[in-house]
Structure 1
């Protein structure tokens, strides 16, 4: 089995909803559930040894548009969120992550040594990530507290605008060049993340925001759960020029399992072949090199191919990549080692 460290999942969102519905999210993770994609038993079955676990604040007003007769759709950006309730939800989710650690369900990791140790012990290695920074104010005081608690990665925006920058909509066909990039506060956030050793995720930001981060941050460029725009023309996917910049900075892109970002028609259809996942990997490897490509499933946040279904099916993608000609060393890089390299550099463990 090829152990996988995954660049993005929304398991905390699902477990937080479990908590709000009056059930026990810790028991759900420890003993399994038929719902969603990730829990302890399914992670072990599929070799999912850990990943970046997102603190995401839901947008209640966002309703994804159905495709028109041509298969096109454009969902307007979700409305901006207020800071105070966003902070409250973020704290609830971080507290849940700590409860899971105390119960032995997973281990919160703050270094690559922590990740490797958890993997060796057979414990899910959770790196806390913040997807959209509505919980952080312009003076960044909350960032200091979240970092002290264990936050090691963040995306300045989700697919909505906030005080730090602008997000891309869920739309097809459309390029990621959909609006402005970072605000003045966003530039200060990026500089603070570089100082503190917090990874900056570009998965949901506009193309202009991508270039703003590229010229401001000194760290590798990271798109934790994005695919190839040339193959699937959704606004969330990366252009060739963006991938060239990631290659030049020795950064990383994690393959998103979301079928809407894999299929040429961008439809939300689970009957999606693993061949399309391999095709996106092949394209990224050819464009950026094997060292800059990894996995970023978006488990518990998207529809994934029915042949994978959930975390227990992860090895089916590994087998498909092996059948496509990827050697053992390449599989190790794609599945975990490229994430270890990039995170180690951002966290100042290596230069």
Structure 2
């Protein structure tokens, strides 16, 4: 069974019609994840992102991905989103997640015991995660309320700036050493997340923000959906120095399936062989150890390799991993056990 570090299905359901379309998650929908295909692919659940989309200004996501097919690119980041605009979107996405739980499609998990219970029963497990903290006020009152509602994982930024810090653009080739790190409010956010046991996701932070959290947080360092910069020199990927810090903290990294962050040429091209994913996994295992590597697909938020396509295609990834020489104990760690290990060390239960 695969437990996954990141998906954007709540965003897609919101775009497709919101609460009225929640049932499509059970019966079948366009996109990467629904119950019928999850059952085929052995998808046990994952981190369900709450995310506020920026105005597209007449462009589609496909237009952005087309820009990422050039030999070099620097996709402009959108402007920050005010809290007053972000909070209603987050409330709608939480309401959809609650409706899915009400329908029996999944269970919102607040503890590792909740996750293990889902794995044992076969019910899909969902961790409420926030990708970009635009909906949270500087005084962190909203954070406390969201934690009470089930929030257990948070990324301070999704690439665009927030009042808490700065992210990395979709830039290739580049590293993440771009701009300032956490703001004063960002340091308070890290402290309060530590107190509450909310996992901090480093995936979209720039390098300065990464190091600010590394020196401030008392929890393992985790990037839920990031890849190896030494293989794909994209601004979103992690350098060897960052991987070493994650290993030292006993944290982990979830392999991002997005083609642009996998390929040496940085292009968002679904014609990407599974061997490319295995190269990243091998490198992560070498640098982090086999207990600190997992999967973080970015399903419903990116173009993924054609050999996978959606959750039903996870069987192809498993087959490739086994053919590559990964034995069953390692498969279990990579597919779900490592996520349980790091969450057990992070959440306050």
* TM-score, normalised with respect to structure 2: 0.96
Say whether the 8 Å CA contact 2:68–2:267 is kept in structure 1. Answer: no
2:232 alignment partner in structure 1: 232
Offset at residue 102 of structure 1 (A): 0.6
Alignment of 1:48 onto 2:43 = yes
**Unaligned stretches of 5+ residues in structure 2:** none
CA drift at 1:348: 3.3
1:163 aligns with 2:136: no
Where do 5+ consecutive residues of structure 1 fail to align?
A: none
Q: Is the 8 A contact 1:28 1:39 kept in 2?
A: yes
| Counterpart Cα distance in 1 of 2:281 and 2:324 | 10
2:335 maps to: 335
- 1:290 match: secondary structure: coil
CA distance in 2 between counterparts of 1:238 and 1:60 reads: 28
What's 2:16 paired with? 18
Tell me if the contact between 2:67 and 2:75 (Cα under 8 Å) persists in the aligned partners.
Answer: no
Q: Which residue of structure 2 aligns with residue 282 of structure 1?
A: 282
Equivalences for 1:125-140 in 2 at 5 Å? 125-140=125-140
Q: Which residue of 1 aligns with 2:4?
A: 6
How many corresponding residue pairs? 344
SS at match of 1:225: strand
Deviation at 1:69, TM superposition (A): 9.9
Aligned to 1:285, the other structure's residue is in SS state: helix
1:32 aligned partner: 28
SS in 1 for 2:31: coil
Pairwise CA RMSD? 1.4
- How far has the Cα of 1:61 moved from its partner? 4.0
Cα distance change of structure 1 residues 329 and 68 upon mapping to structure 2, 3 Å threshold: closer
Any conservation in 2 of the 1:26–1:105 contact (CA below 8 Å)?
Answer: no
C-alpha displacement at 1:235, in angstroms?
Answer: 0.3
Q: What SS does the aligned partner of 1:212 have?
A: helix
Mapped to 1, the partners of 2:34 and 2:251 lie a distance apart of 29
CA shift, 1:139, in A, is 0.4
Give structure 1 regions of 4+ aligned residues with deviation exceeding 6 angstroms. Answer: none
* Structure 1 length-normalised TM: 0.95
